[in-house]
Chains A and B, each alone.
Chain A
Amino acid sequence: MTYSFVLQSLLNGLLIGGVYSLMAIGLTLVFGVMKVVNFAHGSLIMLGMYTSYWSVMMFHLNPYASILISFVVLFIIGVAFQKFLINPILDAPEHNQLLLTLGVSLFLENLAVFLWSPDYRVMQTPYSEINFYIGDISISLVKLLAFGVAILLAAIIYLILTRTDLGKAIRAASEEPRGSLLMGINIQRIYIITFGIGAACAGVSGAAITPFIPVYPYAGWLFVITAFVVVVLGGMGNVPGAFVGGLIIGIADSVGAIFLPGGMKSIISFIIFILILLFKPTGLFGRKDA
């Protein structure tokens, strides 16, 4: 095992880690504001992948323009999801919300099987052949672009949350729902927008990886568990924590792939998941009172 091989794994891990970060930001935002663990996040990622795939295959869009379509489509799906399914049962016990999102994810995944068959579909783009070289290390253009898109959207969300009135309202609703209701914030609307943003994160991250990861109905499962690991690692509801956690898990996964046989590489992130849940459920960067 050479030095450059390890460096190559670290770099690949970092690039995919950026995408994990974006997936996890969507999940952690929804948890932080609504206290809902969104099990359907993986299905939303999968829908983002299919949206991008079909826009490219049917309308011959540039794959990176299709990311915008995924953003819009998934935002709308997220809004409808929150408005018609989650808002009505917000007062129910938390496991009911978990089961509801599980039901939605079962429905969406198997609807995808029904509509588009369980086959793997690979998006053909001219970009996927392009690699840059720095010494022995190759950087694939599509992975670099996916990383760039993920970081860009993560930064935009961070700015929205910290610099705008909407962001202030979202943070207020997350900290003190009743108090912000009394201050005249329309909580239901904030919830709808937050879920829309969360779903859009899933859609964009799905669309960003479509040029190098095959699309199939259960693709979301690959990522939703990783996203949960990242969210727990970063502290449930902690957006910057999710960002750092994504990079850590990305690197841990690809370093694990050096030592472990193919099917076992995700076992590292599972073990991290179990250890964190057991010893520090508030996450690496979680507050004590969380």
Chain B
Amino acid sequence: MPDIPEQTGYLKRKFYPRTWITIGIALVVLHILPWVVPNILHIMIMIFLYTIMGEGWNVLGGYAGQFSFGHSVFFGIGAYVSTLLFIHFGLSPWFGIFVSCAAGIIFGLFFGFLSFRYHLKGPFFALIMLAFAEIFHMIAMAWSAVGGASGLLIPLRGSCPSLMQFISKTPFYFISLWLMLGSLFLVWWIEGTRMGLYFLATREEHDAAEALGVNTFKTQMVAMAISAGMTAIGGTIYAQYILYIGPDSTFGVANSVEIMLPPIIGGPGTVLGPLLGSALLTPLSEVTRLAFQSYSGVHLMIYGVVLVIVIMFLPNGILGFARKALSGFGFRGKLST
């Protein structure tokens, strides 16, 4: 098998010295931030968590081109599996996170097997994922063994690092930061692999990719597994951080929207898109949540407006637009995403 040439047109992944310097400065800033401005830790943690899950959605939606409207199902599976294991068996979430991730992948493969076998795509795939998430939502609401409509409170055992419980927010900041950096690296790495190119081929021309020998079913299954696993990890950390999970806040439609909007608005199919989208939307939602406490959904009204504006004027997201605009001015390839 011949190797893919390193410098193909789309994947100009050369790192200039200034890219390394930028990354280095960003890492240093992010690591000293908790001591410089401690009161924004909550917002930063939420940005990181929704970036992790946005990257998960991005692998399937942005790279492999299958838009899911029900990613909250993986978030919920991640949150419920680790929480139930902790409550009933005392299993530390540090191990629970692996079980959650595995459970997310298993369900992802199951949903993927059902949908991709019949070449469901576009709105049909979006809707079937929504239906799966709604079924889980209904089960979580009706089944009292998993808390029913009132949800589950995770018992707080004080500061107990071995159970992923901390009094201060700083450890969660670093957990979510490193997981986010890991997710960025993972997606960046996938983008450069043969499988990453299969994702793009399947997204752009499903039938042509098939004709050229790409196993599109397998490609979509791999994308689904990675996507589901990453989203489930985000769900576990969220549950440990908030210490409460309920059917609406996990499996709800609004949560699917909050997972998918950062990559769509930041730029689907780009490594940094979900981070950019999350960095823009999460503070917006936290601020409006504080400003309109009695109206819990008002931040979604703003999300709706942002989504409509982005779809109408920047259909490839902010980064997609930036890349196009810059390449028009002769910056082709210099903007490494």
Contact = CB atoms under 8 A, between A and B. Distances in A.
A274 B131 contact: yes
A105 interface: yes
A277 B127 contact: yes
Given A92-B315, A278-B118, A263 B304 contact: no
A106 B142 contact: no
Contact of A281 (B120, B306, B312): B120
A105 B126 CA distance: 16
Interface stretch (A15-23, A110-118, A173-181): A110-118
Interface in A47-98: 85, 88-89, 92-96, 98
Main SS at interface, chain A: helix
Interface residues of A, number: 45
Given A107-B301, A107-B308, A270 B123 contact: no
Contacts of B134: 225, 266, 270
B312 A266 contact: no
Nearest to B65: A95
Interface in A238-281: 261-264, 266-267, 270-271, 273-274, 277-279, 281
Contact of A104 (B114, B122, B131, B304): B304
Interface in A123-165: none
B321 to A, nearest CB: 14
A277 B301 contact: no
A217 interface: yes
Contacts of B79: none
B308 A100 contact: yes
Contact of B301 (A98, A110, A278): A110
A263 B128 contact: no
A270 B307 contact: no
B131 A109 contact: no
B33 interface: no
Interface string B290-306: 00101111111101111
Interface of A: 37, 85, 88-89, 92-96, 98-100, 102-111, 113-114, 117-118, 217, 221, 225, 228, 232, 261-264, 266-267, 270-271, 273-274, 277-279, 281
6 contacts: A85-B312, A107-B308, A228-B127, A277-B118, A277-B128, A278-B115
